[in-house]
Every structure is written in C-alpha cells, then in structure tokens.
Amino acid sequence: MKKKILVTRNLPDKAMKLLYETYDVELNPWDRVMTEDELIEGIRDKQGLLCLLTDNISAEIMDEAKNLKVISNYAVGFNNIDVKAATERGIPVTNTPGVLTETTADLAWALLMATARRVVEADAFMRKGAYKGWGPMLFLGGDVYGKTLGLIGMGRIGSAVARRAVGFNMRILYYDMNRLPEDEEKTLNLEYADFDEILRSSDFVSLHVPLVPSTKHLIGTRELSLMKPTSYLINTSRGPVVDEKALVEALRSKKIAGAGLDVYENEPEMAPGLAQLESVVLLPHIASASVDTRTKMGTIAACNLMTGLAGELPANCVNPEVFIKAKHL
C-alpha cells in the first residue's frame, strides 16, 4: 500500500509526477493557502507533508498528524515551521537551499534597476497615454553604474548579488555576522563595514539575511534615518526584516528615494499606504519564479520527502539531530 502524503499547493509537473508515481497524494484543490482547519483535516492520516513558506505548520497541527514522518518545505527558509516542535516529535524538516541563489540575485538586481530608473512608473505613464514627447526632466532617476552598493548579509545570495555589481563598477560594502576570508573579499572586490556605516554610505542597501529574532525589524525608523535621501532599499530576504510602517513614513517624508520589495511583513497584506507610493516597486514574492528554478525546487522538495519517508537522512535536513537521536534509542 502506498504511503499517504499531503501537498499544500500544486507544484511544477516534474515534481508532481515523482510524487504521484510513488505515493497516494492528496493535493490542495484550491489555488490559495490552506486554513489551519484544512491543514489539520488533510494531514491527519498522512505520513508525509510537502508544504510552502506560506503554510504555518505549528505544534498543534503536528499533534493531529500521529503518523507524520517528514515535513518537506518548498523553500529555502523554514520559519513557517515550528522546527523545535518537529524535532521533539522526531519529525525531520527539510528545505531547498542553493537552487534559487542566482535567480533570486537576478530579481534583486531587477528591483534595484527598476526602482532607481523608475521603470514601473514610466511603464504606467506610457500605458495611460500620457507620453507627449521627450522632455529633459521626464522621469529622472538615479544612476547605478559607479555607485555604492551596501549588502546586509553575505551568504549565497548576497555573494551572487555582489558578483553582478562588479560589472557595474560599484563600490561594494558588506556586513555579516561572519566576515569573509580576505581572499574572498578581494575576489569580489568587497569592503567590510559595520552596519551603520553601510546605511550611511550606500546608494543602494540590499538585504540578504534570514528571519531570526535578531533580524526582525532590522531596518526600522532609526536605520532608515541613517540612509541618504538619495538612497534605495531593496528587500528580497524576509518581509519582517523591515518595519513596513517605518518604511512607509520614510518614503512619504523622502528620507530615502525609493524601495524595491518582493516580501512583506504580514504577507500577503501590506502596510497601509505602501501601495499608494510611486517611489516603491512592489512584487508578489517572485524571487525564485523562473520555470527552471521552481522546477528544480519542486524536484528537490519531492526527493527530500521521498528520502525521509524511506527512513534515511535527506540531503537538506535542517534538524538532522532527529536521526542521531533515533539511532541511539
């Protein structure tokens, strides 16, 4: 008899084919996030769960799934899952790191360019038929080439963004809890700086940190006040890293020139007033949304699930201690 799994949203065909061939699959029939009650009902008799970053997998939900053996998250992040509770219950949790690095870096740059050069505003201007001819003051924006880029977080994605900045002859500052070796800094033409110095000196500040207690509201009123009035904030990391209400106020009062966001503090909701500001480019969490990358993510998530259900340690397990503990029982 095939093991039963719950998949909380439809995934690219290649991943779904793997799952349907191997398991008795229950797929969320709605093109939306499942409610807590729907998750509980769906997971109750399942051995495996393949979920998304938008699914809140709490201890209470796990307690309703007495047969649950593995949780596979279709994302790099996993702050949507109570990993501590999963570990206590002997349930491995997996993610999909690495595969979306370059695609996310591409989108960070798309936001940076679109924000600085007012691409979205200009597109809307053209579509409503407002263009009456070239003008010397029409949609003046900010230059990118030769400017200073400040990177907060220098993991895989931060490094990929830095590599792209070299071609724009930018001065690249970075801050991370762990400073890179000197040879890596030289290779990417990086300068290490403290957090506040990056905010003061950068023309573009791009965020690439995980969401942990210490990074919630990492960028708030104080930090935005340190930035130059000609500077731009780019966030493709996690929404709660930025105090969204403070950002709205900073944009309204022109404390900074603009912002580009792919993630939001209370996603999918936005802070009041944010959508009405022309100086911000807003995207619906699509940093990894290329056909190739989303297909690879789906395949990795499916393989993680299959490995875990086979009783083996998945390659991308975020709590491998559950296997170590099991071996000593």
For the domain covering 4-99+291-327, report its CATH number.
Answer: 3.40.50.720
DSSP string, 143-187: --TT-EEEEE--SHHHHHHHHHHHTTT-EEEEE-SSPPPHHHHHH
Which one of 36, 38, 102, 267 is the catalytic residue?
267
Is 285 catalytic? The answer is: yes
Phi-psi region of 56 (alpha: psi -120 to 50; beta: other; left: phi over 0): beta
pTM: 0.89
Name the residue among 81, 141, 73, 92 with its Cα closest to residue 112.
Answer: 141
Q: Are 196 and 203 in contact (CB under 8 A)?
A: no
Q: What CATH topology corresponds to 101-282?
A: Rossmann fold (3.40.50)
Q: Which residue has the tokens 């619906």?
A: 284
**pLDDT for position 329:** 45
Which segments of the chain belong to CATH 3.40.50.720?
4-99+291-327, 101-282
Is 200 catalytic? The answer is: no
Alpha-carbon gap, residue 90 to 31, rounded angstroms: 31
Q: Which residues are within 8 A (CB) of 259 and not within 5 positions of it... i.e. 6 or more apart?
A: 115, 232, 233, 234, 235, 247, 251, 279, 280, 281
Q: What angle do CA 275, 280, 286 make, to 5 degrees?
A: 85
Is 267 catalytic? The answer is: yes
What are residue 204's DSSP bridge partners?
Answer: 149, 232
Which pair of tokens denotes residue 191? 């300068």
**pLDDT, block means (10 residues), the chain with 329 residues:** 96 96 96 94 96 95 96 94 96 95 97 98 97 96 98 96 97 97 94 98 97 96 98 97 98 98 96 98 97 96 97 95 67
Name the residue among 168, 162, 131 with its Cα closest to residue 146.
Answer: 168
Which one of 118, 238, 244, 265 is the catalytic residue?
238
| CA distance to 50, 72, 79, 257, per residue, from 303 (Å) | 11, 9, 21, 44
Which pair of tokens denotes residue 254? 């022109």
